[in-house]
Structure 1
Amino acid sequence: MSAAPAPREARGALALRIFGCFAAGYFMSYGLRSVNAVLAPELTAELGLTHAQLGAMSAAYFLAFAAMQVPLGVWLDRFGPRRVDAALLGVAASGCIVFALATSAAMLWVGRALIGAGVAGALMASLTAYRQWFPASRQTQLAAWMLMSGTVGVLVTTVPVHWALPVLGWRGVFWLAAALLAAIGVAMWTLLPRDHERAREPGVPAASFLASLGGYREVFASGYFWRMTMTAGVVQGGFVSMQSLWVGPWFATVLGVQGAARADLLFAFNFGLMLCFFALGWIAPRVGTDGDALARIVARGTAAVVALELAIAWAHGPSAWWLWVAYAAAATVYTLVQPRVGLAFPSRLAGRALTGFNLVIFSWMFASQWGFGVAIDAFRAGGLDEVAAFRAAMVGFAAVHAACLVLFVAWPRRWGGR
């Protein structure tokens, strides 16, 4: 029996089509992840949410996202990124509809969780597809450009959404998002090639779902995996929990910036982040593949993140917003880590390695986004005013990330990964 022909490598229009479809899905994923940073005042005013309720509702996205990572890795390796991502975007569209119809905090939570589950494959599906269609030398560059595409989605949720609110209202924003998600899912299903989905040898049965879960044992037994995820995953997850919610309330409460001015600063913050990802897309291929070089970059980036978190905690006045731009720039170093984790495992485990990494990131995003709100309410109950409670919560945030840095630098060689 002759072997199936080797799938082609994506070039030209095919490469643009593959990147464009997956980038559009991630654009929506990242935009919906961060839109509550702008909508928080409207949601709080209409439904009377506390800081803890706001944090829990927004973090439902991350909880559902994290819960999807283990089955997602199996599905990606078994069914291929095109089918998995297209189907899940339909789930995200249904979540937007539930959110748009919500009349209580519980209904908001359910809608937000469905959105998180539906966009859970947006980045991992793209990285899995790029592993199939593009050479290893392009992986970190493509990952950086995907994150740039996602940051464009965040930009759209700042000033443009603020402008749209008087016309559409926050409910109309989610109806529009539902329509866009459905359209992208259909385009992904119909326009993307299926070569790699047919690449399995004829007559060779696919492994069962339970048998496929066994591949995670190999991933989770890797010291390299845990060294990178316990630092890059936790610190990156913490940054995204800030970017996607608490940066907006911080500008309003701590820096005293309200309304259109706050939306402008959020736009500037995310525009700066987008430029950092764009620059990283050009720099990444020039970073050596030596593991020690990557470790040095991660250690220095994490030290900068901790220093900037402490500076943010004590800075005063509207001009202190520029520290958030520097914070975003420092956090982009973790973009180099995830593709390297995927490349550290055989191609048959690529989806599971990437989603295992994502499981750590999004579990921590949920914990930190919810926990930050809980900490604010706890400090206020202990007698601090609201501004002091925000600052104290940020100091605690920095302390956790400092502990991650110490663990990374002092990682014992006997654990592997050095």
Structure 2
Amino acid sequence: MQSLWVGAWLRDVQGFEPHQAAALVSILGFAMMAGCVGFGAAARTLERRGLSLYAFCGIGMALYVLTQMLIMFNAPLPASLLWAAYGIFGGTGILSYAVMARHFPPQMIGRVNTTLTLIIFLLIFGFQIGVGAVLSHWPASGGHYPALAHLSAWKILVALQVLSAIWYVLPGRQLARSGEMCAEQEA
């Protein structure tokens, strides 16, 4: 959503003027950069205090989904706060690289990171097209799609994120423990 469809959401669903939508997209972008840096630093600190990287990443992703739901259901909070939270918690995704690094031998990390990056870009490309395909099922009026069209597309994306979270948590319990054991063995 962030890279292509948030501006349209802000204009079509929330009724913002183009300059207001652009300002909120900028807030989101800066917040995402801060989230990437902040979550990296916070992960190290929290891990020293006993919260695993795996758990911290999962919590951040859950908060990201929650934030999206608050936006989708028009929570009575300031738009700048919601979109900043969307950006900050969206920055949690950067921790995926560190989580993956715990599950592969050091000589494989370059390939793992390259593959993860490729998959991320392919998914972004595919989901941008997918959102457009969902929106195209409704007639556009004056270059705007109805709110229901946007909401339908975003619900699909959130449903996919929830399924991904289930995949992350259920089989990951054993992987998280083995990753923590590898980290203990290295120390």
Please state which band the TM-score falls in when normalised by the shorter chain: 0.7 to 0.9
Question: Is residue 247 of structure 1 aligned with residue 3 of structure 2?
Answer: no
What is the aligned residue count? 171
Measured in 1, the distance between the counterparts of 2:146 and 2:89 equals 27
Cα offset, 1:396, TM superposition: 1.4
* Secondary structure of 1:243's aligned partner: coil
Q: Are 1:256 and 1:317, in contact at CA under 8 Å, matched by a contact in 2? A: no
Which one has a bigger Cα radius of gyration? 1
Counterpart residue identity of residue 260, structure 1 = H
The change in CA–CA distance for 1:344 and 1:361 in structure 2 (over 3 A counts) is: same
Q: Offset of 1:259 from its aligned partner?
A: 2.9
Q: 1:412 to 1:336 in 2, by over 3 A?
A: closer
Q: Quick check: 1:308 aligned with 2:67? A: yes
Deviation digits for residues 104-158 of structure 1 (CA, Å, limit 9, x no counterpart):
xxxxxxxxxxxxxxxxxxxxxxxxxxxxxxxxxxxxxxxxxxxxxxxxxxxxxxx
Q: 1:364 to 1:390 in 2, by over 3 A?
A: same
Q: Which residue of 1 aligns with 2:97?
A: 338
Whether the aligned pair in 2 keeps the contact of 1:255 and 1:320 (CA below 8 Å) is no
* Corresponding residue of 1:276: 35
| Aligned residue runs from structure 1 range 202-351, under 5 A | 242-288=1-47, 293-315=52-74, 319-342=78-101, 344-351=103-110
In terms of mean alpha carbon deviation, does 270-279 or 301-310 score higher? Answer: 270-279
Where does 1:377-396 land on structure 2 (aligned, <5 Å)?
Answer: 377-378=136-137, 380=138, 386-396=146-156
Q: Please state how far the C-alpha of 1:392 moved relative to its aligned partner.
A: 1.5
**SS where residue 14 of structure 2 aligns?**
coil
In 2, Cα distance between the equivalents of 1:315 and 1:271?
Answer: 22
Q: Which residue of 2 aligns with 1:417?
A: 175
Corresponding residue for residue 398 of structure 1: 158
Superposed displacement of residue 258, structure 1: 2.2
Q: Structure 1 segments of 4 or more deviating over 6 A? A: 289-292
Secondary structure at the aligned position of 2:4 is classed as: helix
1:206-228 CA distances to partner (integer Å, 9 max, x unpaired)? xxxxxxxxxxxxxxxxxxxxxxx
Is contact 2:32–2:90 with CA below 8 Å preserved after alignment?
no
The answer to whether the 8 A contact 2:4-2:128 is kept is yes
In structure 2, do the counterparts of structure 1 residues 348 and 412 end up closer, same or farther at CA, with 3 Å as the change threshold? closer
Structure 1 residue 390 displacement after superposition: 0.5
Q: CA deviation at 1:280?
A: 3.2
Mapped to 1, the partners of 2:164 and 2:15 lie a distance apart of 31
Residues 13 and 150 in structure 2, CA contact (< 8 A), matched pair in contact too: yes
Task: Decide whether the 8 Å contact of 1:272 with 1:325 is kept in 2.
Answer: yes
Q: Which runs of 5+ in 1 are unaligned?
A: 1-241
Q: When the two structures are superposed, what TM-score results if normalisation uses the length of structure 1?
A: 0.37
Name the CA distance, whole Å, in 2 between partners of 1:366 and 1:294. Answer: 28
Distance (Å, rounded) in 1 between the aligned partners of 2:106 and 2:94:
20
Residues 338/412 of structure 1: CA separation in 2 closer, same or farther (3 Å cut): closer
> What does 1:15-414 correspond to in 2, within 5 Å?
242-288=1-47, 293-315=52-74, 319-342=78-101, 344-378=103-137, 380=138, 386-411=146-171
Take 2:175 and 2:154, find their aligned partners in 1: how far apart are those partners?
Answer: 30
Q: CA deviation at 1:292?
A: 7.3
Q: 1:340 to 1:318 in 2, by over 3 A?
A: closer
Change (3 A) 1:342 1:375: same
For 1:290 and 1:366, the matched residues in 2 are separated by 38
User: Partners in 2 of 1:318 and 1:250 — Cα distance?
Assistant: 17
Q: Name the amino acid aligned to 2:19.
A: A
How has the CA–CA distance of structure 1 residues 318 and 330 changed in structure 2, closer, same or farther, with 3 Å as cutoff?
closer
Normalised by the length of structure 2, the TM-score is 0.76
1:358-391 deviations in Å (ceiling 9; x for gaps): 232122212211111111112x16xxx6111101
Tell me the C-alpha RMSD between the 2 structures: 2.9
